[in-house]
Amino acid sequence: MKTEISKGILVISFLYYFFSFYIGSRFKQYDIFIKNKTKSMKTINLKLKIESFPNLNQSYPYSYPYPIIRATQAANANKKSLRLFLPQLNHPFNLRKGFSSLASNSKLTPISHPPKLIINKWNNFFFNLGTETVSASQLPLAGLVTEQKIIIALEKFKEELFSELSRPSSEYIDYKEDYSCYRLLIIFKIQTTNNQIRSISYLQNVNLKEFDLLKKIFLEFWDLKTEEYFLVEVSHIIYSFKLVPLREMQSTPSSSQNIRTFSFENVKDNVGTLERLETPVIESKLLISDYSALPNKNDNLTDTSTEIPKTETNILSTNSIIKNSIINSKSSRMNRTSFGGVNLPNTMDILLWGDVHFISETQAIVYRKQSYSEYHVELFNDYLLAELKIDDKIILKFKDTLNDKINLSTFTRTIKNHEYIYQEGNLLLKKIKKKVRFLTKILPNMHQSKKILTMDLETRTINGVMTSYCVSIYDGKTSKSFYLSDFNSETEMLRKSILYLMKRKYNNYRVYLHNFSGFDAVFLLRIMSDLSDNLKPTMRKGKFLDLRFNFADKYTLFFRDSLLILPGTLRSLAKNFNVVEKSIFPYNFVNNPKIELTYSGLVPEYKYFDGITLDEYKAYSANFYKKDWNLKDETIKYCELDCIVLFKIIDKFSDNIFKLFRIDILKYPTLSSLAFAIFRSRFLKEEDRIPLIHGEIYNFIKKSYTGGSVDVYKPTPVISKEENPENKSDSKEDKMNLIPNKTKKIKRYDVNSLYPFTMKNFPMPTGCPIYFEGDILSIWNKHRAENILKSRTGDSNYQEKKPFGIFEVNIETPLDIKIPLLQTKVKLKNGTTRTIAPIGNWTGQYFSDELYNAEKYGYKFTVIRGYLFERGNIFTSYVDFLYEMKKYSEKGTPNYIISKLLLNSLYGRLGMSPIPENHLVISNKQANEFYSKYNITNVVDLKNGKELISFLDFDQQSQNNDIEHIDVENYKNKNISVVVSSVVTASARIHMSQFKTNNSYTLYYTDTDSIDIDGELDSKFIGNELGQMKLEHTFNDAVFLSPKMYGGITDSYEYLRIRGLKNPLKFNELKGLLTKGTKLESKQEKWYSDISNGKFNIKDEIFTLMVTDNKRKLLYDKDNKFYNTLPLKIENGEIIE
C-alpha cells in the first residue's frame, strides 16, 4: 500500500494548478481511511484517472485525463486518514482501475455534514441559559447572566470555532493551522425570554491568537450594561461573529491601524459614566485647556462679567478697609494657587505679592519677585481689581472680594468665569462657570400636511413560523390589497406592495402601520433593502421609530409606527376618536395548516375568534345566512377596514393637535418628540434658559438619574405571632411564626400624574452649570444665621440661596432606618449591578434637594464636587394647560386622550443620550469599511448582500470617505438636558418619601407612583387634583414577591401583575411562592423575530417564577415562610450584609 501511494507523489504540481484553474476552486470532500499505520504526516499528490469528463474538450483547448488531486495524509491512532478534495462538477465521474489498488484498501465516502462555519459571513453562536446550565443550588440564577456564564459561553464558542476550523471546508482548501492569518469580528449580545436581542459590547476585532482577551473585554462591557438588563430574563448569550482572512482585512487601507478595539475609557464615556478621581485634579485640565494663561497679542481679554463700574471708586477714603488693612498687616508666609500656569497669591494682602509702590490712595503697582511681570492694582472698599502685566500687555485680570473684614486671606477671587473661595489662605472651593447653549423656541407650523398613507399586514402561524399572507394600503380615497394566493411567494407579494407605493405622487408621504416598530418592520425590512440602496432607519432599543425609504434618487417615503404616537389598541382608539369601529376576524382559523387560503364555506367556529362574546359571534354569522364565508374576501375586507380606521384616527388626531398647538404631527415620529415640539413652540420662554448638557457634564449628571423606586418591604399582610397582641409567648421562634388566615386589608393608592406634578411644583435647573470642587455647604452654612435673619425681616431668599444642583457626596446613613431613601448602584454577588436603597456608606451623585430631604431622616453627607444651577419654574404653563384640558374633558374623548398622553411624555425626552445609537442599511462591501472605523454595536445580515449596521461615535472625518449620503450632524442628539430629567425623577422620590416614612401604617410595596399600605391615608392627600392620591384597590389578601411581581384579591376580582408573563395565573398560585425555594412554572408563547428571513418563530417555553433577594435581605421563619425584609448594608460601595 505504501509503495502504491509513493508512486503517485512525483507528479508535477503545474498540471494540478492548471487543471484547478479551469475547473474552478470548489471541491467535493471525501474521507479515505487507509489501513496503513505509518505515523508520519505529509501532503501527497495522487494521480487519478477520470473516466467520464465529456465537457472538458468542448470547453477548453487542452484536456488532461490525469488531473492531480491533492490530499492530506494524517495519522490517526490505529489507521491512516487521507482527506481528498475532488473537483465539484455538474456531472458524475468514475474512478478507473488505476486507482483501484488504493481504493481496495480504502474506504471512500463523502462527508455527510456540510461545513457549519461560513468564512467572511456573519454567524451566530447561541449559548442556552436554561436550567441545564446550572446546578440545583444555582437554579434561581438560571435566567440571569453572570460573569461565570459569560466565560463558560465564550470557552464553548472557542472550542466549537477552533474545532470547526480544524476541519477543512470547501471554502478554504489552503487553510493553515496558523490562526494568526484570520481576524475575528465579534459582538456580545443577549436574547431575552420575550425575544428581544440586545447588544452588550461594541464590535471587537481580534486576531484568533488573541481570543482570550475577549474574556476581559466582554466582562467589562457586562459590568457596564448589567444594571440595564438586571430585571430581564435572559434565554441565550449570543456571539455574532465573522471570520475574515487577514489578507481581506488588509485590503482596506490602514485597517490594522484604524480598527476599533476595546477601550475601557471609550466605553465608559459612551454609556454615560465618568470615574471619580481620588484627588480633585479633574478640573485642573479644564483650567489649562479652557483658558490660556499667556494669550496671543491679538486676544481680546476684556471680560465684561468681571468689570466694575468706575463710579464706585468715589466711595473710597484714606481709611478704606482694604488699604488700611494692607498697610497695618504683618507679612507672613503665603500660599499660592496656580491658574493656567501662573501662581497667584492666596491673599488680598498685596504687601505679600511683591514690592509695592502706591501711585495714589487707590492704586498700586506690585513688582513680582524673580519675574518681569507686575500687578496693577486698584483698591475699593471691600474688593480690589488686579491686572497682571508684562511690558504693558495684560496677561491676566481678576477681582478679589473680601469676605472677612479682619482677615485679608479670607476672600473670593474671580477670574473670568472661575471663582475661588479662600479661608485664611486655604482654598475651600473652586467654581467654574461652564459655557453651554440653551434650548431654543421653534416656530409653529404654518400648514398642516395631509400626506398620510396607512398599511396593514395580516399574518398566520403554521408549524411555529409566522408569515404574512395579506397586505392592504389606504391613501384616504382608495384601498389596494395583495393576497398571497395571487402570488408565487410571500416575498413576491410584499415586494409588489412596496412597489405599489413607489409612485411620485406619494413623495414625502408618511406610511403608518400600527406596531410597525416591533412587528411589521420584521417582514418588510429585507424587501425594502432589495428595492432601495438608500434606506435609513431610526431605531431605539431594537425598535424602528422611523424608516426613511428613498427611491429614484429624489423621492422619499417615511414608514412610521402609529402606536408610538397613539399608544393603545386600534379598537380602543377608534372608540376614543369616534371613528368607524374595527371588525372581527377569526385569527386562529388561518393558523390551521389544513385550511387553504382559498377556503370558501361555513363561517369558522366560535373558538377561532378572540375577544368577542357569543352574541357578537352570532350576529356576525348571521351576515352569511345562505351564502359562503370566503377567507380571501373576508381577510381583505378586514385588513382594508383596519387601514381605513387607522387613517381616520391619525387624521383626526392630526387635526386636533394642529388646532390646539399649530404643530404638524407628521414631522414627529414619537409621542415624546411631539410633546417636545409642542413645549418648545408654545410654552418655552426666553427667560427659562434650559441648559443643553453634553460631554463630561452629561457623564457626571447621568449618574444621578436613577428613575423611580420599586421595592418589596413586607411580602404579605398575614399577621405574625410577634405582631399578634394575643400572643403571650416570650419565645422568639413562636413570635416569628405566621398565623394562618389572619390578614389585614391592603389599600393601594396611586398618585395623579406624579411626574407632571413634580414638573410644576418643584424647582427645575436652569442657567449655566457652575462646576465646583469642595464642600460648598460648609461655606453656605457659615452665612446661615445671616440668611435666616434676612428671611425674618422679609427677605425670603434663604432657601433659594442654598446650593442647588447635582452633587457628588460621601453618604452615611442611619443604621436603624428600615426604609432607606437614597438609591445607589452596587455590584451583587452574582456579578450583576443593581440600583438599591441600602444602609451604610458609599459615594455617589445626587440632586441637592434629595440630599436635604434625606438629611431630615438622619442621613449625613459631605460634598466633594458637583454642578450648581439656578432655580426656575419652566414647566408650569405646559402642565397647567394640559391638566386643565384633561380635567374639563369627558373621559375617553380626543382632548382627554391628547392631554393625558402629552402630560406624561415630555420629561423623558430631555434625558436621552447625547450620542445615540445610529443605524444604516449598507452593502457588505461598505460594511467592511465600517468595521474598521466606528464602534459597531450590532450587525444584522439581511442575506441579500446588505447588512443593518448599528454604531456609535460617528467619525467626523467620514464625510471625506467613500461612504455617501451620511449627515454626521444628524447622528447627534443636540436638544437634551439630562439634569432636568434627573431632577424631575428625584423630586418625585422626594414627594413619595413622605408616604414611605409615615409610621401610622405598615408599608408593603412601593412602585414609582404608588404605595400599598395596611391603613388609610389622611384625607388631605386624597383627591382628583394633580399630585393627590386616589384609591385604586382594597385587597382582602395580597402578596408581594419582588419588584413587578405581586397580586391581590378583592371582594369581586383578582388582580395580578407579573412582568413578562402573558398567560394568567391564580392568586393562590402566586402566594404559594412564599415558601423558600418554591418555584412556579408556566408555559408561555414566545415570539422570536428573524429580520434576516422576514418572519417570526413562535415557541412554547417555560416561564419560571421564584423569589429572589436582589434588592433587600429576605427574612424567613422556621417553616421557611417569607415574612419580612431588611435593607442591604454596604460599606464603601460593597455589600457586606
pLDDT digits (tens, 9 = 90+) for 485-539: 999 999 999 999 999 999 999 999 999 999 999 899 999 999 999 999 999 999 9
Strand-pair partners of 412: 401, 421
Question: How many other CB atoms sit within 10 Å of the CB of residue 996?
Answer: 20
In sequence order, what are the residues at sequence separation of 6 or more whose Cβ sits closer than 8 angstroms to the Cβ of residue 6? Answer: none
Residues 43 and 90 in one domain: yes
Integer Cα distance of 1003 and 802 in angstroms: 32
pLDDT tier, 38 (very low <50, low <70, confident <90, very high otherwise): very low
Residues 625 and 653 in one domain: yes
pLDDT of 102 > 50? The answer is: no
Kindly state the cell numbers that stand for 953: 461615535
pLDDT of 1042 > 80? The answer is: yes
Integer Cα distance of 1114 and 1078 in angstroms: 14
How does DSSP assign 213-235, residue by residue?
Answer: HHHHHHHHHHHHHGGGGTTS-EE
Q: What is the pLDDT of residues 782-835, one digit of tens each?
A: 777 665 665 655 554 555 578 999 999 999 999 999 999 999 998 877 777 889
Backbone angles phi, psi at 97, to 5 degrees: -65, -20
Residues 851 and 783 in one domain: yes
Among 42, 75, 110, residue at a domain's last position = 110
pLDDT of 885 > 90? The answer is: yes
pLDDT of 3 > 60? The answer is: no
pLDDT of 302 > 50? The answer is: no
Average confidence (pLDDT) over 474-482: 96
Contact (CB, 8 A) for 239 and 186: yes
Confidence (pLDDT) at 199: 85
Integer Cα distance of 520 and 513 in angstroms: 7
Residues 999 and 937 in one domain: no
In sequence order, what are the residues at sequence separation of 6 or more whose Cβ sits closer than 8 angstroms to the Cβ of residue 837? Answer: 709, 711, 819, 820, 821, 822, 823, 824, 1111, 1127
Which position has the higher pLDDT, 916 or 114? 916
Q: How many domains does the chain have?
A: 6
Residue 288 lies in a domain: no
CATH label of the domain that carries residue 132: 3.30.1490
HEC states along 819-881?
A: CCCCCEEEECCCCCEEEECCEEEEEEEEEHHHHHHHHCCCCEEEEEEEEEEEEECCCHHHHHH
Most confidently predicted of 216-220, 418-422, 511-515: 511-515
Kindly state the cell numbers that stand for 1026: 394633580
pLDDT of 245 > 90? The answer is: no
Residue 290 lies in a domain: no
Residue 336 lies in a domain: yes
Residue 1119 lies in a domain: yes
Confidence (pLDDT) at 999: 92
Residue 296 lies in a domain: no
Task: Identify residue 965 by its one-letter amino acid code.
Answer: H
Instruction: Give the domain extent around 790.
Output: 711-876+978-1132
Confidence (pLDDT) at 718: 72
Residues 155 and 233 in one domain: yes
Strand-pair partners of 202: none
Confidence (pLDDT) at 742: 58
Contact (CB, 8 A) for 992 and 714: no
Integer Cα distance of 1106 and 290 in angstroms: 54
Residues 764 and 869 in one domain: yes
Confidence (pLDDT) at 98: 35
CATH label of the domain that carries residue 635: 3.30.420.10
Kindly state the cell numbers that stand for 885: 384640558
Residue 334 lies in a domain: yes
Integer Cα distance of 89 and 354 in angstroms: 95
Integer Cα distance of 247 and 182 in angstroms: 8
Residues 868 and 735 in one domain: yes
Among 110, 133, 164, residue at a domain's last position = 110
Q: Which of 465-479, 651-665, 936-950 has the lowest mean pLDDT?
A: 936-950
pLDDT of 391 > 70? The answer is: yes
Integer Cα distance of 529 and 519 in angstroms: 17
Confidence (pLDDT) at 100: 36
- Compute CA 807 distance to the chain's CA centroid, rounded to the nearest angstrom: 24
In sequence order, what are the residues at sequence separation of 6 or more whose Cβ sits closer than 8 angstroms to the Cβ of residue 782? Answer: none
Contact (CB, 8 A) for 238 and 920: no
Confidence (pLDDT) at 703: 94
Nearest-Å Rg of the Cα atoms of the chain is 37
pLDDT of 20 > 60? The answer is: no
Confidence (pLDDT) at 721: 56
Residues 178 and 70 in one domain: no
Confidence (pLDDT) at 737: 52
Confidence (pLDDT) at 226: 63
Q: Which of 325-339, 886-900, 1103-1117 has the lowest mean pLDDT?
A: 325-339
Q: What is the pLDDT of residues 980-996, one digit of tens each?
A: 999 999 999 999 999 99
Integer Cα distance of 904 and 925 in angstroms: 44
Confidence (pLDDT) at 370: 79
Residues 754 and 832 in one domain: yes
Residue 277 lies in a domain: no
Integer Cα distance of 215 and 155 in angstroms: 9
Residues 520 and 415 in one domain: no
Helix (H, G, I), strand (E, B) or coil at 502: coil
Residue positions counted in the chain:
1137
Residues 574 and 636 in one domain: yes
Average confidence (pLDDT) over 689-714: 92
In sequence order, what are the residues at sequence separation of 6 or more whose Cβ sits closer than 8 angstroms to the Cβ of residue 460? Answer: 466, 467, 469, 590, 591
Residues 493 and 628 in one domain: yes
Residue 1083 lies in a domain: yes
Of 859, 862, 842, 703, nearest to 1134 by C-alpha is: 842
Strand-pair partners of 415: 418
